Amino acid sequence: MSVLDGLTCPLPLEDYPRVLPAHGGGGTLMHRLIRDLFAAVFGEGLQDRTDAALLAVTGDRVAFTTDSFVVTPLEFPGGDIGSLAVHGTVNDLAMAGARPIALSAGFIIEEGLEMERLWRLTVSMKRAADEVGVNIVTGDTKVVERGKGDGLYINTAGVGVFDHDPIPGPSAIEPGDRILLSGDVGRHGTAVLAVRDGINVAGDIESDSAPLVAPVRSLLEAGVELHALRDLTRGGLASALYELARDSGHGMLLNEEAVPVSDPVAGFAEILGFDPIHIANEGRFIAVLPERDAEKALTVLKTHPVSEKATLAGEVLAGEAGRVLLRNPYGTTRILTLPSGEQLMRIC
């Protein structure tokens, strides 16, 4: 059981049930918000009330990333903006091969947001950080006028350290490498869109939002030679493959029948004319590695719930610089193209 289970917001909600402009104005209400809500949740990881956190970092290779989250709605099946902010940031560090050690959190709150909801989202953020074993060590709070903030935006930054060699990156990709996919695709984007627009689908669709640190750490500890890692966020699997093809100078071949898609997601995508390989995920990644390590890596990935449906989904090609090819179940191969516009708005 989490240490947060059973906690209730200590702020006097009967006096201030919603966020007011004064909660960001530098006065008594702002200090009470920070002390009684944010510090109450993040307290064990927060540093003293200074303008910067002091981190003890060993070694001379540090990873640093930043991200912003503007999802609508703030809460959706399988997650919310709080847990999503943690997952998205630690996953970016994990995809670089780094071990996350600390996060920051900047809250841009719209006037009128229910204080109880803000508390709930903050607790969710803390639980997500605890799951990964990382502390939220510093932060910032701003309040914007009603109608100018979609309720809540969260900006994060993450710091990690490299404790394995070599560091994975597209320049290490070689022809003949295998492409592993950690699980089914398309759930986050469809879950958010379905609840936001009131679209009823056959079967429940929950976001796949989850931390990917554990499976990546297990691959590294097992001695798997990781040439590249990429999480499948905006643009989905197709966009991630194109980025790796572009940056490596090699071609990518994806076997369509090796890409898991749940029945509810497939039905939803078909109705709206989407291809699941273009839809955003928040708990899926691909790993590019030598053929000799592919079976070992699959075995390792399947020991983690978040990647238990991992598959061998494709390979790296010589002579197809910068292109992604899709092979269908009938053996026909075509060039995979990317959509020119945005399919789904406000999904992360």
DSSP for 21-75, please give it: GGGGTTSHHHHHHIIIIIHHHHTTT--SSSSS------SS-EEEEEEEE--SSSE
The pLDDT > 70 percentage for the chain reads 91
Report whether 297 contacts 287 (CB < 8 A): yes
pLDDT value for 339? 74
Which pLDDT band, with edges at 50, 70 and 90, does 245 fall under? very high
Mean pLDDT of 138-147: 94
pLDDT value for 2? 46
Report whether 274 contacts 343 (CB < 8 A): yes
Beta carbons within 8 Å of 158's beta carbon, 6+ residues apart: 63, 64, 65, 66, 67, 89, 90, 92, 93, 100, 102, 103, 104, 134
Which pLDDT band, with edges at 50, 70 and 90, does 144 fall under? very high
Give exposure, 274-310, as e/b (b: 16+ Cβ within 10 Å): bbbbbbbbbbbbbbbbbeebbeebbebbeebebbeeb
Q: Is residue 255 left, alpha or beta, with left meaning phi > 0 and alpha meaning psi from -120 to 50?
A: beta
Q: What is the CA radius of gyration of the chain?
A: 21
H helices of 97-235, in order, are 115-132, 187-197, 213-221
Q: What is the pTM of this model?
A: 0.91
pLDDT value for 86? 98
CA-based diameter of the chain, in Å? 67
Nearest to 83 by CA among 66, 62, 101, 105: 105
Alpha-carbon dihedral sign for residues 268, 270, 273, 278: positive
- CA terminus-to-terminus distance, the chain: 28
Please state at what angle helix 263-272 crosses helix 187-197, rounded to 10 degrees: 60
pLDDT value for 47? 55
pLDDT value for 264? 92
pLDDT value for 58? 72
Would you kindly state where each structural domain of the chain is located, as residue ranges? Answer: 21-161, 170-335
pLDDT value for 324? 95
CATH placement of domain 170-335: 3.90.650.10
pLDDT value for 35? 83
The pLDDT > 90 percentage for the chain reads 69
pLDDT value for 129? 97
Enter the DSSP assignment of 98: P
Q: Quick check: 265 pLDDT over 80?
A: yes
195 burial level (CB within 10 Å; 0-12, 13-18, 19+): middle
Residue range 21-161 in CATH 3.30.950.10: no
pLDDT value for 1? 39
Query: Among 58-62, 80-84, 156-160, 326-330, whose mean pLDDT is lowest?
Result: 58-62
Q: Quick check: 50 pLDDT over 80?
A: no
